[in-house]
Structure 1
Amino acid sequence: MHMMFHTVKRGDTLWKIAHHHHTSVHHLLHINPSIKNPNLIYIGQKIKIKH
């Protein structure tokens, strides 16, 4: 599987990103260990979706 990223936009939450990409918040947190607080993501942040 190839690497895919989502760039955080205004209004995004991990739940919305997970839902949009047909995955779970748990999966996103697992493949993005740098996200320590799932309620704290930043505009412009690149979040790995698949690897």
Structure 2
Amino acid sequence: APVLAKVVKVKSEKIEVQFKRPVCIFEKSNVALSRKIEDRWRLIGAGIVG
């Protein structure tokens, strides 16, 4: 399910995010990062939870 979050730290190929509400994410799960650009959501990245 989509959850709003804010990127707090970027280091090399890793990022740290702060979620707007509590979430449960399993290690090695796939995640997608989207950003609203010109009133449309665009996929800006994807990765694996470490």
Q: Report the TM-score when normalising by structure 2.
A: 0.26
**Structure with the higher fraction of residues in strand conformation:** 2
Larger RCO (CA under 8 A, 6+ residues apart): 1
**Structure with the higher fraction of residues in helix conformation:** 1
Larger radius of gyration: 2
Q: Report the TM-score when normalising by structure 1.
A: 0.26
